[in-house]
Chains A and B, each alone.
Chain A
Amino acid sequence: MSQPLLDIKGLVTAFPGRGGELRAVDELDLSLQPAEVLGLVGESGCGKSLTALSVLGLAPPPGRVRAGSIFFEGRDLLTLPEPELRQIRGARVSMVFQEPMTSLNPVFSVGRQVAELVAAHQDLPPAEAWARAVEMLGRVGVPEPAARARAYPHQLSGGLRQRVMIAMALILDPRLVMADEPTTALDVTIQAQILDLLRRLQQDSGVGVLLITHNLAVVAQMASRLAVMYTGRLVEEAPVAGLFAEPLHPYAAGLLACLPARAPRRGQRLPTIKGVVPPLDALPPGCKFSDRCPRAFAACREAEPDLVEVAPGRRVRCFLHHDQARQARRAA
């Protein structure tokens, strides 16, 4: 396998808490190959967005990265001096956020915001930067881009604003785009347009995409591999087809089972995961899912299982699969 595009190792991002440090991302290992689309899924507060922000060095204070390394194209972003980091951020690694209205500047035209990004990273005269911006707006499907470039964010629909965000994320030809719930705020027919656009742009440019979402259907359609997070930890990582066919971690299985679209019959009770996600300062001992897990046994409440490889490209953090992991190791 080639060198990973992004290789996160042992990442810990923590917030100060009353009883000590609260680890919102805990010992996370995750890597992404060039041109790969990796889905990072989990429910609110599981640490999926914070992982992406940590990569960019943008963990919101007082949260900060406490340990680990984040290799991007072979260089550890956590030890890179700020000027070099600035060269990478936005240009080599970019981000698309959920709500384009709050991430665009309301007092500048969208064309100017796209053009400024070009001007900031490449030494181009203003007219040329503007022309590049207009061209990029056209590529992301903004109709009449030359005219629309002069519009302000509030004059555009939600779908068009998200296209502008995507133009900004891609105009510097990055190697990695982290898209955090890029279609969650959009209506379903607009969501379909934006997902289609992202898919085409990804295939054309070969950019790697870390797709962060709570929506498993979006991942099923967009990603080739996915990683499931729970309380700051990775609990399962697998090819998308494999995980949807046979989820191994009981949490991943529970998430899939409770989707109404996958219910065997309409109007019947849906399978549920009992209880709620525990707050970070009240995590159970042992496996963090043990208090909600239908298959938990004594050992689960005593020690936390490691994330072990059970098959090539397939890792799971669950004692139920440790034997399988041992056999896989022996076979290798």
Chain B
Amino acid sequence: MIPTAETLVQAQGLSKHYRVGAGFLGSQRRTLQAVDQVDLEIRCGEVLGLVGESGCGKSTLGRLILRLTEPSAGKVLFEGRDVGGLDRGQLRALRRQMQIVFQDPMTSLNPRLTVGGILGEPFRIHGLAQGRAVERRVAELLEAVGLRPDHAGRYPHQFSGGQRQRIGIARALALRPKLVVADEPVSALDVSIQAQVMNLLLELREKFGLTYLLVAHDLTVVHHLADRIAVMYLGRVVEVAPAEGFDQPPMHPYSAALFHSAPIADPTRQTRPPALMGDVASPLAPPPGCRFHPRCPEAQEICHRQGPALREIAPGHLCACHFR
């Protein structure tokens, strides 16, 4: 993939392998391949949805892109600059450009700070505002996410789950970043609150010209919000495609299974029988060849031997399968 002018982030051969502690009685040290050789482009102004099941490496990939986790191999280019080559000062400056929203707002907000303290911190750390100016910026942020300026004096526990997620989003936006990685931003919320927060994410994107990497396991959420969808399986990206028409074939057999596994919220349409048998293999011992082959209904002999490369099968549609 060649970075273009509209590329905001480019991940190249990005890997994160963890050495897992020796087992009982000196069994061998093993390597857990959380993310393995991922190439991924995030374009300016888009919402890129990143889906996959637990343990597929989607959250780790998000953290690698923000350099909250150091990669084992590969690099991340942010606006063409290699993030790995930056010194502390440069990295701090870059961090203003990229922020994260976590899944659980209760555990990601400091319970001993008021909301004003939490939202004011970024300004103080980066020396961008002081005193009254901080208060004014905090009030603006609270209004932008649908809370009231007088909420600044309260503590996180005094808010509902949906309101806490609004605070988490406000904190991410404080420094006017270009990129926001939202890691399961609505999965801890009740259905009615989920819709409110999804609307807020759409609104803020418009208002601040944000680019999102939206990490989520719920395909209906991703399909609604994203412009493009990337699907991960066992540490690898297996498909990247426009969200519009994502449910149209051709697609990767795993993406298809993921799509058809979700129960349909319409009793007149029947969910297909389960497409996949068995469980995801362990990232400690990923299968050889295509990592999906043990569960794939279409697997052939070649899939056992050779891992398919992620290649363009239609304009703007990448897929890693021998048969697409």
Q: Shortest beta-carbon distance, A20 to chain B, in Å? A: 23
Alpha-carbon gap, A185 to B160, bound state (A): 22
Q: Would A260 and B195 count as touching, CB distance under 8 A?
A: yes
Q: Would A263 and B190 count as touching, CB distance under 8 A?
A: no
- Report chain A residues within 8 Å CB of B191: 43, 214, 216, 255, 258-259
- Report chain B residues within 8 Å CB of A196: 273-274
From A3-11, A110-118, A270-278, the one touching the partner chain is A270-278
Q: Which of A160, A188, A214 contacts B217 (CB 8 A)?
A: A188
Closest to A243 in B: B267
Q: Would B192 and A217 count as touching, CB distance under 8 A?
A: no
Q: Shortest beta-carbon distance, B4 to chain A, in Å? A: 23
Q: Would A258 and B265 count as touching, CB distance under 8 A?
A: no
Q: Would A258 and B266 count as touching, CB distance under 8 A?
A: no
* Residues A259 and B190 in contact in the complex (CB < 8 Å), given A266-B244, A270-B195, A276-B160: no
Does B299 touch A at the CB level, under 8 Å?
no
Q: Shortest beta-carbon distance, A97 to chain B, in Å? A: 19
From B26-34, B134-142, B176-184, B218-226, the one touching the partner chain is B218-226
Closest to A141 in B: B277
Q: Would B192 and A188 count as touching, CB distance under 8 A?
A: no
Closest to A197 in B: B274
Q: Shortest beta-carbon distance, B20 to chain A, in Å? A: 16
Closest to B227 in A: A267
Closest to A274 in B: B196
Q: Would A255 and B264 count as touching, CB distance under 8 A?
A: no
Q: Would B265 and A188 count as touching, CB distance under 8 A?
A: no
Q: Would B275 and A189 count as touching, CB distance under 8 A?
A: yes
Q: Shortest beta-carbon distance, A237 to chain B, in Å? A: 15
Q: Would A190 and B279 count as touching, CB distance under 8 A?
A: yes
Does B270 touch A at the CB level, under 8 Å?
yes
Q: Which of B218, B227, B262, B276 has the most CB of A within 10 A?
A: B262
Q: Shortest beta-carbon distance, B200 to chain A, in Å? A: 10
Q: Would A187 and B53 count as touching, CB distance under 8 A?
A: yes
Q: Which of B195, B217, B244, B277 contacts A193 (CB 8 A)?
A: B277
Q: Would A220 and B264 count as touching, CB distance under 8 A?
A: yes
Residue-by-residue, is A243-279 near B (CB-CB < 8 Å gives 1, otherwise 0)? 0100000000011101111110011011111001100
Does A104 touch B at the CB level, under 8 Å?
no
Closest to B278 in A: A143
Alpha-carbon gap, A193 to B257, bound state (A): 12
Does A240 touch B at the CB level, under 8 Å?
yes
Does B133 touch A at the CB level, under 8 Å?
no
Does A191 touch B at the CB level, under 8 Å?
yes
- Report chain A residues within 8 Å CB of B250: none
Q: Would A260 and B220 count as touching, CB distance under 8 A?
A: yes
Closest to B295 in A: A189
Q: Which of A157, A189, A214, A272 has the most CB of B within 10 A?
A: A189
Alpha-carbon gap, A189 to B254, bound state (A): 10
Does B110 touch A at the CB level, under 8 Å?
no
- Report chain A residues within 8 Å CB of B261: 188-189, 191-192
Alpha-carbon gap, A244 to B263, bound state (A): 14
Q: Shortest beta-carbon distance, A37 to chain B, in Å? A: 12
* Residues A276 and B198 in contact in the complex (CB < 8 Å), given A43-B192, A221-B271: no
Question: DSSP majority for the A interface?
Answer: helix
Closest to B259 in A: A188
Alpha-carbon gap, A193 to B263, bound state (A): 11
Q: Which of B198, B217, B268, B280 contacts A260 (CB 8 A)?
A: B198
Does B54 touch A at the CB level, under 8 Å?
yes
* Residues A260 and B221 in contact in the complex (CB < 8 Å), given A189-B258, A217-B262: yes
Residue-by-residue, is B238-257 near A (CB-CB < 8 Å gives 1, otherwise 0)? 00000110000000000001
Residue-by-residue, is B206-235 near A (CB-CB < 8 Å gives 1, otherwise 0)? 000000000001111101110100000000
Q: Would B160 and A270 count as touching, CB distance under 8 A?
A: no
**Cβ < 8 Å to B, chain A residues 195-222:** 195-196, 214-218, 220-222
Closest to B282 in A: A157
Alpha-carbon gap, A259 to B270, bound state (A): 18
Alpha-carbon gap, A214 to B218, bound state (A): 14
Closest to A221 in B: B263
Closest to B160 in A: A276
Q: Which of B225, B267, B271 has the most CB of A within 10 A?
A: B267
Alpha-carbon gap, A147 to B257, bound state (A): 29
Does B7 touch A at the CB level, under 8 Å?
no
Q: Would B224 and A260 count as touching, CB distance under 8 A?
A: yes
- Report chain A residues within 8 Å CB of B199: 269-270, 272
Does A100 touch B at the CB level, under 8 Å?
no
Closest to B274 in A: A192
Q: Would A193 and B274 count as touching, CB distance under 8 A?
A: yes
Residue-by-residue, is A71-103 near B (CB-CB < 8 Å gives 1, otherwise 0)? 000000000000000000000000000000000
- Report chain B residues within 8 Å CB of A255: 191-192
Q: Shortest beta-carbon distance, A217 to chain B, in Å? A: 4
Does A44 touch B at the CB level, under 8 Å?
yes
Does A159 touch B at the CB level, under 8 Å?
yes
Alpha-carbon gap, A277 to B268, bound state (A): 30
Alpha-carbon gap, A43 to B188, bound state (A): 12
Q: Would A220 and B53 count as touching, CB distance under 8 A?
A: no
Q: List 8 interface pairs A-B (beta carbons < 8 Å), by A numbering.
A: A157-B279, A191-B261, A220-B267, A221-B264, A221-B271, A254-B192, A270-B224, A277-B190
Q: Please give me the 4 A-B residue pairs with the lowest Cβ-Cβ distance, nearest first.
A: A258-B195, A260-B224, A187-B53, A217-B265
Residues of A bordering B, CB below 8 Å: 43-44, 157, 159-160, 187-193, 195-196, 214-218, 220-222, 240-241, 244, 254-256, 258-263, 266-267, 269-273, 276-277
Sample of 19 more A-B contacts, CB < 8 Å, known A189-B276, A217-B262: A43-B190, A188-B53, A190-B279, A192-B260, A195-B263, A220-B267, A255-B191, A256-B265, A260-B223, A260-B224, A261-B264, A262-B266, A263-B224, A266-B223, A267-B224, A267-B227, A270-B224, A273-B192, A273-B195
